[in-house]
Amino acid sequence: MVSPANMKNLKMNSRSNSSGQVIGILIILLALLGAGAWWLFSNKQAMTTEGRKFGREAIQRIALQHDVKFFGDHLSPEARRQFPPSMQQQLISRFQQLGTPVGAVDVQGDIQFQSHFFEPRGNFHARLNYPAAPAEINISVSHPVGRWQIDDIAFVENAR
């Protein structure tokens, strides 16, 4: 038989064991929350860097290198309807007719997130100084799932 003094010791030991388990669970939970927050912020930073790189590369490959394959391969489904292959070739041909821009091409733009960490989108703009006349190109990009894509492209030639 268990004496009342032994019973009191057993109750205290079980209380200290359960409070130790609760503290252990809280520590694990905080570690998981911290790791999740770190992943979200580092993923957002990586997507921002990739998006800026893609926006600049898209302008470089389309306007300067006249890469119709890059243009067609990176169009979003909606942009494919707006720019069928004949329109893609027509835009690239216009860039080829204008030649090589004079001076460096300064690409401006940035990435924004539709929800705090997800659905990155970006708008990029460059002024191109062709020998005949200056021009401007604007590209909208996004990263819905798996890869960056071009959502829209606008090219405007300015008269001198």
The burial of 37, by beta-carbon neighbours within 10 Å (0-12 exposed, 13-18 middle, 19 or more buried), is given as: exposed
pLDDT digits (tens), the chain, 160 positions? 555 555 555 455 555 567 778 899 999 999 999 999 999 999 999 999 999 999 999 999 999 999 999 999 999 999 999 999 999 999 999 999 999 999 999 999 999 999 888 999 999 999 999 988 899 999 999 999 889 999 999 999 985 5
User: What is the predicted pLDDT for the residue at 133?
Assistant: 87
- What distance in Å separates the CA atoms of residue 129 and residue 145, rounded to the nearest whole number? 35
| Helix (H) or strand (E) segment spanning residue 82 | helix 77-82
User: What is the predicted pLDDT for the residue at 29?
Assistant: 94
User: What is the predicted pLDDT for the residue at 159?
Assistant: 59
Which single residue is written with the structure tokens 């209380």? Answer: 15
**The total number of residues written for the chain in this structure:** 160
User: What is the predicted pLDDT for the residue at 68?
Assistant: 97
Q: How far is CA 153 from CA 36, 107, 133, in A?
A: 36, 14, 19
User: What is the predicted pLDDT for the residue at 7?
Assistant: 52
Q: What angle do CA 131, 62, 145 make, to 5 degrees?
A: 155
Q: Are 55 and 109 within 8 A, CB to CB?
A: yes
Q: Is the dihedral of CA 58, 127, 142, 77 positive or negative?
A: negative
Q: Is the dihedral of CA 93, 99, 100, 105 positive or negative?
A: negative
Q: Are 123 and 107 within 8 A, CB to CB?
A: no
